[in-house]
Every structure is written in structure tokens, then in C-alpha cells.
Chains A and B, each alone.
Chain A
Amino acid sequence: AQRVTQPEKLLSVFKGAPVELKCNYSYSGSPELFWYVQYSRQRLQLLLRHISRESIKGFTADLNKGETSFHLKKPFAQEEDSAMYYCALKGEYGNKLVFGAGTILRVKS
């Protein structure tokens, strides 16, 4: 079964502190993993995907197949990073996504 687990409902950090949003998955094949972000009153949007190995807005995420993890990291949090973050796994057909429950990131000044 495909499953995505985000163990933290809420992560609160101070501005300038490092951030790590945890994501673990279970999948029997070769996974495609994503992080989506939803800022207040806005639609869900793609932040980054593991296959492109890019850094967006200072965020990075590395797929660790041994630990079945895809944690999202940023060395220095900014207030505008406050949002809901979802980790997602792509299933076997088209673009069907399996989402984690999400983590609210609050960056305090």
C-alpha cells in the first residue's frame, strides 16, 4: 500500500532558524515524491519534486530510499515561509497523488 506520513501537525520555529519538515513513505516500487505548499487563502502549489533535484525558495529535499524519507529542509526560515506543507507520493497511474496529512509551519519573528 502507498502511504505518506508527516508526523508533525505543527512546527514552530524562529526566523533565521533551520527548518526540517519530516516525511516518510511506504511504496513498493520506485517512488516519485513531491512537496506542495499552501499559503494562507491560496491554492495548493508544487514546491519541489525529487526528480528535479532543485532548490526552490531556499528549500531542498533529498530522497533517502534506505530510510524511505523525503524530508524538506531550509537552513534559515523566513516569516513568509509560514504555510501548510504537504508531502505527496505519485501513484502508478497518471498524476494520482497520495498525500500526507500536512504540517503547518509557523515562523515567528
Chain B
Amino acid sequence: NAGVMQNPRHLVRRRGQEARLRCSPMKGHSHVYWYRQLPEEGLKFMVYLQKENIIDESGMPKERFSAEFPKEGPSILRIQQVVRGDSAAYFCASSPSGRNTEAFFGQGTRLTVV
């Protein structure tokens, strides 16, 4: 099992462009979580998805950010019209089911907005 795979590892975007971050969960995992880590801060929860459903998006900014986890394919975190403040490391985690299972993390995507 290759673990949680995130790509790209590094992404550079100019202000106003779109950023797409991909997360392939571990095999057999149907729960995906996205976290953002700003410089000098801990990881902050953004969104929790199960296949085709958003369960909790309480940590997502209200504008420009969206997430999906389709029936087939990876989970995508999409940031439209990026701004400098979006520069951060974005981590994805997956788990096989709900509460009493461990969540495994990917290596993250470092987004830099220039």
C-alpha cells in the first residue's frame, strides 16, 4: 500500500490563477480530510469528505475554496483566484471509516503564490 499520495508536492501559481491539489487516499479508505498549515502555525482543519459527500466543511474559507471526492479518482482541493495569503502547506489524510480508526497523512503540497 503506497500510502496517501498527494500531488504535486510543490505548486507555484501567480496571483489570480487557479490551484488544484490532488489527494489519493490509501486503498480501502473512503474518508478524506484536508488541512492547511500556514507558516509558524499548526495544521488547521478545512474539510472532511466521504465518497461523493462533504461531511464537514466548517474550516473552509467561504469564497474561492472548494473540495470534492468523486466516486472514482482522487479528492481535489481547488482554490480559485489565488492570493498571496493562500501560500501554505496543504495536507490530506485518509481513514477507512469513522471515529475509531487512525487517519494517515500524505506528504503535503506546498503552494506558493507569487
A interface residues with partner B (beta carbon < 8 Å): 4, 6, 36, 42-46, 86, 90-91, 93-102
Residues in B with CB closer than 8 Å to A102 are 42
Partner of B42, one of A46, A93, A96, A100: A100
Q: Are A95 and B42 in contact (CB under 8 A)?
A: no
Give the shortest distance, in Å, between A27 (CB) and chain B (any CB). 14
A91 proximity list for chain B (CB < 8 A): 45
Describe A's contact surface by its main secondary structure: loop
Q: Which of the 9-residue segments B11-19, B64-72, B78-86, B102-110 touches chain A?
A: B102-110
Chain B: interface residue total (CB-CB under 8 A)? 27
A43 touching B45 in the complex, CB below 8 Å, given contacts A94-B99, A95-B33, A95-B93: no
Chain A residues positioned under 8 Å from B101 (CB to CB): 95
A16 to chain B, nearest CB (A): 29
B90 interface residue, CB < 8 Å from A?
no
Q: Which residues of A contact B4 (CB under 8 A)?
A: 43
Q: State whether the Cβ of B28 lies closer than 8 Å to any Cβ in chain A.
A: no
Contacts of B99 in A (CB 8 A): 90, 94-95
- Contact, CB under 8 Å: B42 / A86: yes
Q: In the assembled complex, which residues on chain A have CB atoms less than 8 Å from the CB atom of B31?
A: 94-95
**Given A44-B91, A45-B105, A94:B55 Cβ within 8 A:** yes
**Contact, CB under 8 Å: A43 / B43:** no
Q: How far is it, in angstroms, between the C-alpha of A95 and the C-alpha of B33 when the chains are bound?
A: 8
